[in-house]
């Protein structure tokens, strides 16, 4: 599983547009909240009640519908452990992964001994509903779907999510990764009441700028949260993350400002792609997938030599010749576009 995480460039000169981080960092208020943690608080095991109450109010849910996690990664792994155990006869369960997908979906399922069933992408990444429904069997226990999807940035239609949830056998769940929901036009949160077999996975890493703090959360019906809570590691969310979360959910102005930066950056990337004749996908996340052709790897290396890091996604299903560019601060986007246009002009 360690292969999932590429080595990030050392901090220093350069613009990190390859890991979908918040390129502005967390808000000043959140940083102060972490600095305010006292020595006695750091020395004691953390208390979670206040943070759960703050998050529940922010989301408009009950706190028994919420599980805080050490980043969304822990949430994904916990869901795999909770639902992908072998049955009484020792036979493995199945996990369905709709591709292209975050590699941790399949990796977490494989660790449990489950069979992983991959559903390939359609042209232009239209959600493969019929293929996903056909992949579900009586031993399916988790279907992993992301919306907005990574790396396409496309939303999965709510009707498709409902159709998949309705097809699941008893005791199975749909794990819906909404890591980029703050940048999107819609979410599935309001549908949870009518679809109690759906688990939403979310993170404070992206819009809130807390990737290094490792702060994520799951939202689901109370019985599912209780099942998840039975396998999650105790005290996995530390006291600094708890302080950051409590402040972050109250700092709406910062998130609104950063979401606006991302939206403008996406528009500028689209315009640059049109000037350069590159295909792209209209994104509802903080990144844009761009098809640059067979020279994708060389382009990524050329930009890195200029201190601008973007991601080669050519090896992912359906992504041949594609790079992914994080859309963050407009000034960073402009620097990336200038380097792209200069590189293409020299080619």
Kindly report, residue by residue over 58-98, the tens digit of the pLDDT: 999 999 999 999 999 999 999 999 999 877 677 889 999 99
User: In the prediction, which pLDDT does 91 show?
Assistant: 83
What architecture does CATH give domain 12-25+252-346? Alpha-Beta Complex (3.90)
CA-nearest of 135, 154, 122, 115 to 266 is 154
Q: Which fold has domain 28-248?
A: 3.40.640
Has residue 305 got a pLDDT over 90?
Answer: yes
Read off the pLDDT of residues 95-109 as tens digits, 9 standing for 90 and up: 999 999 999 999 999
Has residue 2 got a pLDDT over 80?
Answer: no
3-state DSSP call for residue 33?
A: helix
18 band by pLDDT with thresholds 50, 70 and 90: very high
Structural contact between residues 140 and 107, judged by C-beta atoms closer than 8 angstroms: no
3-state DSSP call for residue 176?
A: strand
d(CA 188, CA 190): 6
* Rounded alpha-carbon distances, angstroms, from residue 51 to 74, 240, 245, 248, 285: 18, 11, 7, 11, 26
As a whole number, mean pLDDT of residues 156-175 equals 97
User: In the prediction, which pLDDT does 296 show?
Assistant: 96
pTM above threshold 0.85: yes
Q: Strands (DSSP E) along 73-181, which ranges? A: 94-98, 115-119, 140-146, 173-177
**Percent of the chain with pLDDT strictly greater than 70:** 96
160 token code pair: 């498709």
Task: Indicate the domain borders of the chain.
Answer: 12-25+252-346, 28-248
* DSSP secondary structure code for residue 6 in this structure: P
d(CA 95, CA 115): 6
Q: Of 83-92, 264-273, 304-313, which range is least confident?
A: 83-92
Read off the pLDDT of residues 182-203 as tens digits, 9 standing for 90 and up: 999 999 999 999 999 999 999 9
CA atoms within 13 A on the CB side of 51: 23
d(CA 280, CA 263): 15
d(CA 294, CA 287): 21
Has residue 180 got a pLDDT over 90?
Answer: yes
- Whether a cis peptide bond, with omega within 30° of 0, leads into 148 is yes
d(CA 9, CA 179): 23
User: In the prediction, which pLDDT does 89 show?
Assistant: 74
d(CA 153, CA 288): 7
User: In the prediction, which pLDDT does 12 show?
Assistant: 59
DSSP readout, 268-297? HHHHHHHHHT-EE---SSSEEEEE--TTHH
105 token code pair: 């979906």
d(CA 119, CA 167): 16
Task: Give the CA angle between residues 221, 223, 229 to the nearest 5°.
Answer: 105
d(CA 51, CA 342): 48
Same fold: 12-25+252-346 with 28-248: no
Has residue 1 got a pLDDT over 70?
Answer: no
Q: Longest C-alpha distance within the chain, in Å?
A: 63
Average pLDDT, the chain: 95
8 band by pLDDT with thresholds 50, 70 and 90: low
218 band by pLDDT with thresholds 50, 70 and 90: very high
289 band by pLDDT with thresholds 50, 70 and 90: very high
Read off the pLDDT of residues 101-135 as tens digits, 9 standing for 90 and up: 999 999 999 999 999 999 999 989 999 999 999 99
User: In the prediction, which pLDDT does 13 show?
Assistant: 73
In angstroms, how far is CA 52 from the centroid of its own chain?
Answer: 21
d(CA 94, CA 110): 10
Has residue 6 got a pLDDT over 90?
Answer: no
86 token code pair: 């072998």
d(CA 290, CA 113): 35
As a whole number, mean pLDDT of residues 167-190 equals 97
């Amino acid at each position: 599983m360690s292969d999932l995480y590429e080595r990030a460039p050392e901090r220093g000169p350069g613009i990190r547009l390859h890991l979908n981080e918040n390129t502005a960092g967390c808000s000043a208020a959140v940083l102060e909240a972490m600095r305010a943690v006292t020595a006695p608080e750091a020395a004691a095991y953390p208390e979670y009640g206040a943070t759960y109450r703050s998050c529940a109010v922010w989301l408009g849910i009950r706190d028994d519908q919420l599980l805080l996690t050490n980043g969304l990664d822990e949430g994904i792994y916990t869901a795999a452990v909770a639902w992908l155990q072998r049955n009484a006869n020792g036979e493995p369960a199945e996990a369905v992964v709709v591709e292209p997908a975050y590699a941790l979906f399949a990796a977490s399922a494989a660790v449990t001994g489950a069979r992983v069933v991959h559903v390939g992408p359609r042209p232009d990444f239209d959600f493969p509903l019929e293929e996903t429904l056909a992949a579900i069997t009586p031993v399916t226990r988790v279907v992993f779907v992301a919306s907005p999807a990574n790396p396409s940035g496309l939303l999965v239609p709510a009707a498709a999510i409902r159709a998949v949830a309705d097809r699941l056998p008893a005791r199975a769940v749909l794990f819906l990764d909404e890591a980029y929901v703050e940048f999107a036009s819609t979410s599935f949160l309001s549908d949870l009441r009518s679809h109690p077999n759906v688990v939403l996975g979310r993170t404070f890493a992206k819009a809130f700028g807390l990737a290094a703090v490792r702060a994520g959360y799951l939202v689901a019906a109370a019985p599912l949260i209780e099942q998840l809570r039975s396998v999650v590691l105790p005290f996995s969310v530390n006291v600094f993350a708890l302080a950051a979360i409590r402040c972050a959910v109250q700092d709406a102005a910062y998130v609104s400002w950063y979401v606006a930066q991302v939206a403008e950056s996406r528009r500028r990337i689209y315009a640059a792609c049109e000037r350069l004749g590159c295909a792209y996908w209209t994104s509802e996340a903080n990144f844009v997938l761009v098809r640059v052709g067979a020279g994708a790897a060389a382009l990524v290396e050329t930009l890195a030599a200029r201190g601008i890091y973007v991601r080669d996604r050519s090896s992912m299903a359906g992504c041949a010749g594609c790079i992914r560019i994080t859309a963050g601060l407009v000034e960073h986007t402009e620097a990336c576009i200038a380097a792209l246009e200069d590189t293409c002009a020299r080619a």
